[in-house]
Amino acid sequence: MSDYLNKVALIGAGYMGEEYCKVLKALKEDFFVVCRSESSADKFEGKTGIRPITGGFERVFSNFENVPQKVIVAVEVELLAATIIKLVDFGVKEILVEKPAGINRRELQNVVDYIKNKDVLVYVAYNRRFYTSTEKVFDIINQDGGVDSFNFEFTEWSNTIEKTNHSSKVKEEWLLANSSHVIDLAFFIGGYPIEMASFSSGSLTWHKRASKYSGAGITDKGATFSYQANWKSPGRWSIEVLTKNHRLYLKPMEKLKIQKKDSVVVEDYILDDSIDNEFKPGVYKQTEAFLHNSNDWRLLSIGEQLDHMDYYEKIEGLR
């Protein structure tokens, strides 16, 4: 095959692959898509107008004179870590991989160990870091002199998840595989725990470890925090951030509500979020950062993701 060195490769033709494809087209990137089966390619082409190369990336890349240097990975959770390692073997230099990049600490540790001393950058895609609402929260925090405290909820819809076709392995690791979206953003905004007490109890047919979570602590920014989730009860993801002048509500997280000091009124904050309405929220700016500004402070390295396993495991009751 011809030289693909300067093209962007997108691996995976599922839902997230479709979302990345929309963004890559809007950014006018020179890219191609790889998937395994013809049926997946048919569905993807029908929705995006782009025909993937089939047969899996290992077969496809082995036929290239030069492999692409930037790759976006949007495959199943169980395949993420192994895919990263294989791409590094092919000589890929920069990888943006869907969260959580590995299904547990062992997989993440294997990847981090494997790429050590190799000339490769691996970023984990937490698109909520790139929401317009998140940007405005940081603006207000900076104006007010920092975060004073925050709280968050990562309740999951148990009945809905139980019926999905996710594997039992992924469901058992659901906090990392999915709830980490909320936890990552909360600590990204308010600072990372230096002290944390965590409690969990209960179980579900698809998640034996726990169904209820609560905890509290203090972060490296001096902010106190608390969290809770009950996967047997109604609820939704949310983050509340308190500064000396404002209470900021991310509920839903792509929108922002604000409460001013000495007032009980909670107002909608009008955001210039057209880009988050046109594309899956956060994905456009995240992809743009990966392709054109890899020093963007919002990008999370896989080494940082491994470090964050300390508090994911503590919340899960594994530490």
Mean pLDDT of the chain: 96
Q: Are 254 and 149 in a shared domain?
A: yes
Q: Are 89 and 15 in a shared domain?
A: yes
Q: Is residue 309 part of a domain?
A: no
- Residue pair 287/296 in contact by the 8 Å Cβ criterion: no
- In whole angstroms, give the CA distance from residue 48 to residue 157: 30
Q: Could you tell me the CATH number of the domain that includes residue 84?
A: 3.40.50.720
- Residue pair 159/101 in contact by the 8 Å Cβ criterion: no
Phi, psi values for residue 108, rounded to 5°: -65, -45
Q: Are 18 and 110 in a shared domain?
A: yes
Non-local (6+) Cβ contacts of 163 within 8 A are none
Mean pLDDT along residues 115-120? 94
Q: Are 56 and 134 in a shared domain?
A: no
Q: Binning pLDDT at 50, 70 and 90, where does residue 6 land?
A: confident
Q: Are 143 and 104 in a shared domain?
A: no
Q: Binning pLDDT at 50, 70 and 90, where does residue 5 land?
A: confident
Q: Are 109 and 188 in a shared domain?
A: no
Q: Is residue 203 part of a domain?
A: yes
Answer yes or no: is pLDDT of 220 > 90.
Answer: yes
Pull the structure tokens for residue 226. Answer: 């608390």
The 10s digit of each residue's pLDDT in 255-303 is 999 999 999 999 999 999 999 999 999 999 999 999 999 899 999 999 9
- State which of 101, 125, 149 marks the end of a domain: 125
For 169-296, strand residue ranges (E) read 193-201, 212-219, 224-230, 237-242, 246-250, 257-260, 266-268
Q: Is residue 292 part of a domain?
A: no
- State which of 234, 255, 272 marks the end of a domain: 272
pLDDT of residue 3: 66
- State which of 86, 110, 125 marks the end of a domain: 125
Q: Are 138 and 243 in a shared domain?
A: yes
Non-local (6+) Cβ contacts of 229 within 8 A are 153, 154, 155, 156, 179, 212, 213, 214, 235
Q: Are 137 and 184 in a shared domain?
A: yes
SS3 content of the chain, % helix, strand, coil (to 5): 40, 25, 35
Q: Binning pLDDT at 50, 70 and 90, where does residue 319 land?
A: confident
Q: Could you tell me the CATH number of the domain that includes residue 213?
A: 3.30.360.10
Q: Are 118 and 224 in a shared domain?
A: no
Q: Is residue 307 part of a domain?
A: no
The 10s digit of each residue's pLDDT in 25-67 is 999 999 999 999 999 999 999 999 999 999 999 999 998 888 9
Residues listed for the chain: 319
Of 286, 305, 151, which Cα lies nearest the Cα of 224?
151
Q: Is residue 315 part of a domain?
A: no
Q: Are 183 and 116 in a shared domain?
A: no
Q: Are 153 and 246 in a shared domain?
A: yes
Domain that holds residue 141: 130-272
Q: Is residue 138 part of a domain?
A: yes
Q: Are 151 and 117 in a shared domain?
A: no
Q: What total number of domains does the chain contain?
A: 2
- Residue pair 186/241 in contact by the 8 Å Cβ criterion: no
- In whole angstroms, give the CA distance from residue 178 to residue 98: 11
